[in-house]
Amino acid sequence: MIELNQLSRVFRTQDVETTALNKINLTVAEGEFVAVMGPSGCGKSTLLSVIGMLDSPDGGEYIFNGQNISGFGERKLSKLRKCSIGFVFQSFNLIDDLTVFENVALPLQYLKVKTKERKQRVDAILKQVGIDHRSDHLPQQLSGGQQQRVAVARALVIKPKLILADEPTGNLDSKNGEEVMAMLRQLNADGTTVIMVTHSEHDAKYASRIIRLFDGQIMLDKASDAACEVQYA
């Protein structure tokens, strides 16, 4: 699904040049659950942004589903991103003035999905993540765990090929964090590819593969030998 060849990303200011990704080579197959780990500033979030087509590399090659997208302009990247990738962020990124239903429906509006189908898909995904009873509530009326469920629903409603999660349990207590991780694990078991950035060794155990970055380079890439066997209730 994803192939990065000699991929680099450099940030420049007037006085400083920082290499966030240094000639990364990485392949992620469809159906994998990959945890990306490493100290702050090692390039984890930059890697996720490039894979998610929110940022562009300065060098190298990015092949997504067989297409070399390295030279794509923002319009083509935006269209591909909207149809193919769901994002789950640490800070939820919900719109305060919209209800749960409206937040989850938003990506479908961007894709110009018709009203009837939009309602059916949103209702189904809210039920799947166990938050359908809160569909008319605003985000500030929900707990952190409930808000993250909404964020997961919003990511899933487009039926993405890939879920990108950036510290998805970072703002949650342990119980809600476990529920969100179990949900991601079940989505992966159902066939969705998941790439997750995390500082948590515990959360990384849910993945089938762990990649460790340091100074913009992959220092370790191995199968997780402590993957949790969990079921989403």
Give 152-201 pLDDT, tens digit per residue. Answer: 999 999 999 899 999 999 989 999 999 999 999 999 999 999 999 999 99
Question: Is the separation of the CB atoms in 31 and 225 below 8 Å?
Answer: no
pLDDT of residue 229: 42
Reported for 198-202, long-range contacts at CB under 8 A and 24+ positions apart, including other chains, are 198/35, 198/36, 198/37, 198/167, 198/168, 198/169, 199/37, 199/40, 199/167, 199/170, 200/169, 201/37
**pTM score of the predicted model:** 0.90
Q: How confident is the model over 72-103, as pLDDT tens digits?
A: 999 999 999 999 999 998 888 999 999 999 99
Mean pLDDT of the chain: 92
